[in-house]
Structure 1
């Protein structure tokens, strides 16, 4: 909320490079306490004119404000250190935590890329390989002072804990989620902190200037930058191209970096470095595809203008040659790292004749909305896309009882079950149906529903599932939530997650290869993969839709893993297409 008290002090203080307090910073008796933005009005709290953050000035922070103190490794804590003239830390005198055998060569390769002047690195190892500790260990040995980590809000605490454990260098770290990145910026004419969040973010992306110079930028789940016109991509671009000073070194982490070559635009600097080409700059998709052709891509498309990996073996090899086999990136299959394969099952569910007609009608309305030529919901945009998917959601509601039965079967077989969905209402419906089904079978029937609405309870609910107090969790956050068996120190008090095998039931309609694989990956970590079960109604449009979704996921796997990983998904899609070809659509 906005704090209307008079601002305290003006004055940009640069991050001090040497011990000592620069002129104009706080005295020892009156240090600044920078607070999180949710701080309520309180005597002595004011919004700082320069930094746009609520601050309290005094020797000690009042107990009433303790919950709003700057968290460790946060933007607020960095600003507090700058205002108080706190000098950079010295290297920690402790032994570097042990890494797995396959992780050490990755760290060495990343450090080598930095030392030879590569603009950055793409680490695209699979889910569960430990990209976070590898990144932190790498950066801890680099001669940089300030590190930015951009990650999902729900993973921010995990990154902070990992930095505490694996970070042994003198760096200061700022961990922030993409929606808060605009707070890193200032503007000569617009006081960003006083504007609505969307407007402030748009202005920062268009013409803002980052307040501090980062030496390294780590983007977790870097596939979020696949759209170069998004606010988060443009904010990244401004940080990576400062008007003065050196460009930061950019480390990008993603198990699902691309679904097609046009999505490689956020690693164009790496491709340019390897090929010797000039970077394409801020160009539209058509111009970027022309640039890729100049770099040796063929980009064959089907009659609908879509790129498929099975028709573009040359492009797949070109991605691997430029990004993984060179000095600027790395990716391996689970098999190459000694991790198990992902197991997947297709499970058709049967509806009553009446529900089947309603189900087909909902899909028919969806197809009318998007047009008969449309074959991928990712091609939709804005309100039209949302309205169309709402019609598909109506169809999903009709099979909640069947989904609940499958989930209960898995619980009875000894699994803890994760159910990713798309919409908030679907989460609620599934929690209700699954709870009833489990209770009717006299099985443990406490079901956790995790959504973006319950930020304050989300971690507690996740812990309940991880510690076995609940056998089922239904969630609509397809990234940034860890549900794997055996997670260490789940509650921060030494308790580990259960070793009960996990199963992931994908029952709602998802779109896009990256989103599908991310949903699978929520319960896959530390060398373990959860069984993935895909539910669908045969003989309906959903069956064909699921096949397209799996083919898109195969494209993603082809561009990051191996042909065998892609083939496993393609074979499932072939099974669905073969069955759809022999099963007539239900008339509507």
Structure 2
């Protein structure tokens, strides 16, 4: 029998001891955590995998690295303080004195905290001062409860929102507490390997909390763990929820589920599936198209009355308890005026709109991204892209006319390649400076250039958490430019939340900014505009705010209660209107026509908020009202009085835009029917009657 061969196993060489995962500073040294951008050079610094950041160890930070030094209240500064065991000074800036309404909100927050509530909803109108109210209220609650750490979650873009909250803390004071400002993209850093929070915060402020309404979103899952929503109130931090737009319906208030459970004396777990619990309570909701999402049921979708009853009922859970856990105040300077400006496509534009996407993309020289074949929602998006790009020249022309008249103009977009870029490029070709708050780059620098008046136009797709109003008080005590702001939605959105937040970017802090919603009549944009306005109304009613009287249950895409102001710009359109209406008022520089109230505004009501708001020659829009628009007749044939034009007198139940198209009345032109009625009241008729060549409203749709 052959002897069996044996092989000797070789022992693996032992690895040398690994370098420490976390650096250890020497005597007189400290660790500097650096915010180094991607592919940037940081000489002398080293990347540490355990910290997931660059760090420098030394007694002093070299001059070439100071640009990357951590900023107060940032996550880098938080880690840096933990490693060094030394607290660093906070931000400094121009001190702000809180307004009375901010002090009242802070008292309500502190009262709710003192009575053992686990949270508070701060739902003031955009621009009323929720940021200052939350900071003052948080300091008051910490003083009562003895805690010292605060987490603030902000919305995107972090370049602007984190800086804005840092400036607010510098202005109102941090009270000596430890604050951490973090974006939703950084929330994972606050969780350990087991998925549980690494830090226990005494108080949490969730700014723009509507971003956490979708349960399947990763950031929502992180936020729920950090807020400890599944824990009992005594084991969870006090949460200040800050938003003027809680959601499109109560099923989206998921970030308030634990607060609702406490108000009903239920365990937090019973309200984890908020939509299901609300259905059990009798609210008209039904499961949505995606897991964890809810929507109005079929009955509520067709009834705004049911929707308002539902949101009012949920709101009263928070306002009628003792003490209240919600506060909402309307802006003292009123709601932002908004109107609709439909555009009729030319035959050439209609042909381009109906083109296949691949043909349209090639003709417009749009870079191909993904598959050209689109179905369902993707096909709907293609039509929105085409409509937005085809209207870009008209939007640029309208914006340029307002810049010439001294306005600083905001252009809100949703898409970049087919909306933001074309509009911005067309304006810059005319020599108009444009701040681009979309895509990459230094967004805060772009914002400052607009606020200082260096660029008269800003094109942006950020719906929340940035300030674009006139006369903004800056961190250094100076003021932004005082030029009047005016805004245009270049694209209607499907989200009422985004619409309401967007209007609040410049209509804030006592500054009025009127808005116009631009869309192409007869396209998918018109349907999107209707959905946006309907959802805007429900979103506003959810916190007891303004109910925008724009799209009620009538056949018109706009309300029968709509104070309307239009403007027509452009040399060709102005010359055409000048030939047809030689006596109509216009701007001396641009030939812009204005109209105060269209014939479809609808029947009068007893709304006492609507006063007499004369429209000047600079086309100042009247404030939104229920029944009338006050029109200064000095602009019409030398009349000396101010008349209240009854919008009901011209049959406000007909379709507005097809009727005007059938009459041949262009976008923004004065309707001769309104002129004739006004002249009959004054005993003259300078505008000759127009031949009736149109058919009924039903057949003209």
TM-score tier by shorter-chain length is 0.7 to 0.9
Change (3 A) 1:476 1:384: farther
Cα shift at 1:107: 0.5
Q: Secondary structure at the match of 2:28?
A: coil
Residue aligning to 1:208: 195
After TM superposition, list the pairs within 5 Å mapping 1:531-546 onto structure 2: 531-546=514-529
Residue aligning to 2:344: 350
Residue aligning to 1:394: 386
After TM superposition, list the pairs within 5 Å mapping 1:268-417 onto structure 2: 268-280=257-269, 283=272, 287-295=273-281, 297-299=283-285, 301=296, 303=298, 306=301, 309-326=304-321, 327=323, 329-334=325-330, 337-359=331-353, 385=377, 388-417=380-409
Q: Mind listing any 5+ residue stretches in structure 2 that lack a counterpart?
A: 1-17, 287-295, 361-373, 559-654, 659-696
Residue aligning to 1:112: 111
Between the two structures, name the one with larger relative contact order (CA 8 Å, sep ≥ 6): 1
Give the structure-2-normalised TM-score. 0.67
Q: Secondary structure at the match of 1:576?
A: coil
Cα shift at 1:567: 4.5
Tell me if 1:52 matches 2:37: no
After TM superposition, list the pairs within 5 Å mapping 1:508-527 onto structure 2: 508-527=491-510
For residues 95 and 303 of structure 2, the distance between their equivalents in structure 1, rounded to whole angstroms, comes to 43
1:21-73 Cα deviation digits (max 9, x unpaired): xxxx7555121111125375656533445433322211111222111111111
For residues 264 and 536 of structure 2, the distance between their equivalents in structure 1, rounded to whole angstroms, comes to 28
User: Higher mean Cα deviation, 492-501 or 398-407?
Assistant: 492-501
After TM superposition, list the pairs within 5 Å mapping 1:126-141 onto structure 2: 126-141=125-140
For residues 214 and 271 of structure 1, the distance between their equivalents in structure 2, rounded to whole angstroms, comes to 21
8 Å CA contact 2:492–2:517 kept in 1: the answer is no
Change (3 A) 1:31 1:465: same
**Which has the higher Rg, Structure 1 or Structure 2?**
2
Residue aligning to 2:536: 553
Determine which of 204, 229, 237 is the counterpart of 1:217: 204
Change (3 A) 1:362 1:573: farther
For residues 332 and 139 of structure 1, the distance between their equivalents in structure 2, rounded to whole angstroms, comes to 17
Residue aligning to 1:421: 413
Q: Secondary structure at the match of 1:536?
A: strand
1:486-543 Cα deviation digits (max 9, x unpaired): 1112xx5543111211111002132211011122122122122310101122233322
Change (3 A) 1:169 1:308: farther
8 Å CA contact 2:260–2:271 kept in 1: the answer is no
Residue aligning to 2:8: none
After TM superposition, list the pairs within 5 Å mapping 1:39-78 onto structure 2: 40=40, 42=42, 45-48=45-48, 50-78=50-78
Cα shift at 1:291: 0.7
8 Å CA contact 1:540–1:585 kept in 2: the answer is no
1:408-435 Cα deviation digits (max 9, x unpaired): 2322343211001111212110012234
Q: Secondary structure at the match of 1:339?
A: coil
8 Å CA contact 2:229–2:268 kept in 1: the answer is no
Tell me if 1:501 matches 2:484: yes
8 Å CA contact 2:300–2:307 kept in 1: the answer is no
Cα shift at 1:254: 0.6
Residue aligning to 1:241: 228
Residue aligning to 1:197: none
Q: Secondary structure at the match of 1:102?
A: helix
Change (3 A) 1:362 1:151: farther
| Pairs aligned (count) | 515
Q: Secondary structure at the match of 2:481?
A: coil
Residue aligning to 2:240: 251
Change (3 A) 1:95 1:527: closer
Determine which of 437, 447, 450 is the counterpart of 1:450: 437
Residue aligning to 1:226: 213
Change (3 A) 1:282 1:324: closer
User: Higher mean Cα deviation, 537-546 or 71-80?
Assistant: 537-546
8 Å CA contact 1:360–1:540 kept in 2: the answer is no
8 Å CA contact 2:154–2:206 kept in 1: the answer is yes
Q: Secondary structure at the match of 2:206?
A: strand
Tell me if 1:150 matches 2:134: no
Change (3 A) 1:398 1:119: same
Cα shift at 1:475: 1.4
1:198-240 Cα deviation digits (max 9, x unpaired): xxxxxxxxx5232222111111111001101111111111112
Q: Secondary structure at the match of 2:171?
A: helix
1:529-565 Cα deviation digits (max 9, x unpaired): 3101011222333222211111011110110234xx2
For residues 114 and 378 of structure 2, the distance between their equivalents in structure 1, rounded to whole angstroms, comes to 46
Aligned Cα RMSD in Å?
3.4
For residues 96 and 162 of structure 1, the distance between their equivalents in structure 2, rounded to whole angstroms, comes to 9
Change (3 A) 1:325 1:433: farther
Give the structure-1-normalised TM-score. 0.79
For residues 151 and 583 of structure 1, the distance between their equivalents in structure 2, rounded to whole angstroms, comes to 49
Cα shift at 1:130: 0.6
Cα shift at 1:452: 2.5
Cα shift at 1:115: 1.3
Q: Secondary structure at the match of 1:137?
A: helix
Cα shift at 1:329: 3.2
Residue aligning to 1:184: 190
Change (3 A) 1:567 1:362: farther
8 Å CA contact 1:151–1:220 kept in 2: the answer is yes
8 Å CA contact 1:89–1:171 kept in 2: the answer is no
Q: Secondary structure at the match of 1:255?
A: coil
